Amino acid sequence: MTRPPRLHITGAPGSGTTTLGRALAARLRVGHLDTDHFLWEATDPPYQRQHSETKRRSLLEAACNAEGGWVLSGAFLDWGDPKIPPFDLVVFLFVPTAERIARLRLRETETFGREAVQPGGAHHEDYTWFLEWAAAYDGGKREGRSLPLHEAWLAGLSCPVLRIAGVVPLEDAVSRTLAALDSPS
């Protein structure tokens, strides 16, 4: 490859897209982009207001069209892909629901604090809604990101897709991704 790679790591909430994205960006010495940074306005606490679709697409397009390679983690199924240049590789992470929800409980507690996510806490209602929404991913019975939507999106890609299923050690996922990136398409 004559230019730095452009990778997209995607999957369900809690599947580890950001963790793998950061590790790959560091290994490849390219920028790490996360769809949450384009989707959400900076608020305290975080994740309170979304950017308009026009704004998030503009931000994402500018970041992806900057010189150099990048690793984009997260999902943008319903708002971003018309502006994204072609990927060299898409990695789809599939982690069992119970593991994903355990990860999300920990992440939300670390982000907002134990008191805020407990019953009666300032973030409890949002926390409960988010976990229920994330748990429904496989069945596709809630609005937004779902396994059926992801599968349909993946089927339409022209680039290679690497699927990593299960709870896989980070270094193994990095190695598998680098091997897929190095193999001829």
- The confidence band for 84, taking pLDDT boundaries of 50, 70 and 90, is low
Asked if the structure places residue 113 within a domain, the reply is no
Are 13 and 145 contacting, i.e. CB atoms less than 8 angstroms apart? yes
Note whether residue 143 is domain-resident. Answer: yes
Q: Minimal CA–CA distance to 165: which of 89, 72, 97, 105? A: 97
Rg for the chain, CA atoms, rounded: 17
Number of domains the chain contains: 1
Quote the domain boundaries for residue 76: 6-97+129-179
CA distance 13 to 11: 7
Q: Report the predicted TM-score, pTM, of the whole model to 2 decimal places.
A: 0.90
175 contacts: CB under 8 Å, gap ≥ 6? none
Is residue 170 in a domain?
A: yes
- We report the CATH number of the domain holding residue 88 as 3.40.50.300
| Residue 13 covered by a domain | yes
Closest CA to 101 of 132, 143, 69: 132
Residue 102, in any domain of the structure: no
Residue 1 lies in a domain: no
131-146, pLDDT tens digit by residue? Answer: 999 999 998 777 778 8
Q: Is residue 138 in a domain?
A: yes
Q: pLDDT tens, 12-47?
A: 999 999 999 999 999 999 999 998 888 888 888 778
Asked if residue 93 is part of any domain, the answer here is yes
